[in-house]
Amino acid sequence: MRLSAAGAVMDTIEIDPAGEREALVAPALVTLGPADAAVNGSGGPRALRATQRSDTTPTEPWTPGREFVGRVAEPPADRPDLAGARVVADPDRVCGACDRCRSGLSAHCTERATMGAPRADGALRERLALPATGLVPVPDELRDDDAALALPVARALHAAWVVHLEGRPYVTVLGAGAEAVIAAQVMARLNASVRIVTEHDATLAAADRLRVRHRRLERVGRRGDQDVIVCVDSGAESLAVACAMVRPRGKIVTLAPASGPVALAPIVEHEITIVGCRGVRLREAVGALARGEIACDGLITHRFPFHRADAAVRAAADPGTLRVAVEM
Ligand SMILES: [Zn+2]
């Protein structure tokens, strides 16, 4: 399965041989959201630099898919314990050797590549070679449908940790998609008053089913009274709305890069702190899902077999979907 500016097409892909410390993993279920269907996705600092260097060169087609659950087909020699294990994976590949990796900032590795983005193929293929250190075993009681969504749970857990959410009375998750419904549940574990604010119908319906508090955007006053806003959408207008909703000296945590220029005046005027967030806490996410603390029922809105993965990618871009599952 390949995606490019020309669209999604099925294709035969050569399987990477596993490196010395890598496992060969067979994906079982891959979930796709709108970000996976975007043809301008970033593959990390290296891909970003390459894109900046050659703006006129079309990006080579790539294989989407960051969220998946699969089985280890061949473990590396030093990890026989992983043989046959059901696993989820950190989508970031890091070098382990640069200054940042050696100083404990490996999530910000200068050579980092994120799978499922240009120049780093993702999980929509029969086998993929992944570093054994990035694999997290999944307990038997966790269904594939829930395990595949460990990544958005892991991102929300990291965001809650970054912003020290405990003891902040009013928290709004601003934006749409499975990300919003999952982030609101993660934040609600730490805080009593958490709501989703969006105009996205499918998100409001899912929040309603899962008993997550929610309000339609047009019905919410912009009173500058929220302690924390968690932005899950990438639009610059989303950040402008967040600035109008957050209290003076409040915090905005943004989980997606702003796609346009951001007005700095309200940020200075009200001494707002903006925190960017992209890390994951995958092991904690698998634990929270296995304990039933995060409900994902109904977040997968469409299903496709692997031979129709091209149609699945197109469906993931549809505004009526939350997550599209591909059964491998
Ligand atoms: Zn590194």
Ligand 1 centroid distance, CA of 131 (Å): 14
How confident is the model at residue 49, as a pLDDT? 53
Q: What is the mean pLDDT of residues 19-27?
A: 94
**CATH code, 2-149+299-327:** 3.90.180.10
Over residues 5-10, the mean pLDDT reads 86
- For ligand 1, an ion, list residues with CB under 5 A: 94-95, 98, 101, 109
Place of tokens 């020290």: 164
Q: Using 50, 70 and 90 to split pLDDT, how confident is the model at 45?
A: low
Note the pLDDT of residue 6: 84
**Vertex 78: Cα angle to 74 and 80 (nearest 5):** 50
Please state, in angstroms and rounded to a whole number, the distance separating the CA atoms of residues 234 and 95: 28
Q: 103 CA to middle of ligand 1, Å?
A: 10
Write down the pLDDT at residue 288.
Answer: 97
Of 107, 83, 104, 78, the closest CA to residue 93 belongs to 107
Q: How many CB atoms lie within 10 A of CB 211?
A: 10
Instruction: Give the DSSP letter of residue 62.
Output: B
List all residues 6 or more positions away from 105 whose beta carbon is below 8 Å from its beta carbon.
Answer: none
Place of tokens 């404990």: 104
| pLDDT > 50? residue 93 | yes
Global confidence as pTM: 0.92
Superfamily, domain 152-276:
NAD(P)-binding Rossmann-like Domain (3.40.50.720)
pLDDT at 58: 52
Residue boundaries of the structural domains of the chain: 2-149+299-327, 152-276
Tell me, what's the pLDDT at 95? 87
* Interval between CA 107 and ligand 1 midpoint (Å): 8
pLDDT tens digits, 249-295: 999 999 987 777 888 999 999 999 999 998 999 999 999 999 999 99
Q: State the Cα–Cα distance between residues 93 and 112, nearest whole angstrom.
A: 6
pLDDT tens for each residue of 123-180: 999 999 999 999 999 999 999 999 999 999 999 999 999 988 777 789 999 999 999 9
pLDDT at residue 186 is higher than 60: yes
| Residue 53: per-residue pLDDT | 46
Do 1 and 64 contact (CB within 8 A), yes or no?
yes
Q: 92 alpha carbon to ligand 1 midpoint, in Å?
A: 11
Report the separation in Å between the CA atom of 105 and the middle of ligand 1, taken as the mean of its atom positions: 8
Ranking 18-22, 165-169, 191-195 by mean pLDDT, the lowest is 165-169
CA distance 85 to 107: 25
For residue 133, the CA-to-ligand 1 centroid distance in Å is 14
Tell me if 135 sits within 8 A of 283, measured CB to CB. no
164 against 194, higher pLDDT = 194
**For residue 216, what are the contacts with CB-CB under 8 A and spacing of at least 6?**
197, 198, 199, 204
Amino acid at 14: E
- Helix, strand counts (H, E) of the chain: 11, 17
What distance in angstroms lies between residue 46's CA and the mean position of ligand 1's atoms? 11
pLDDT of residue 118: 80
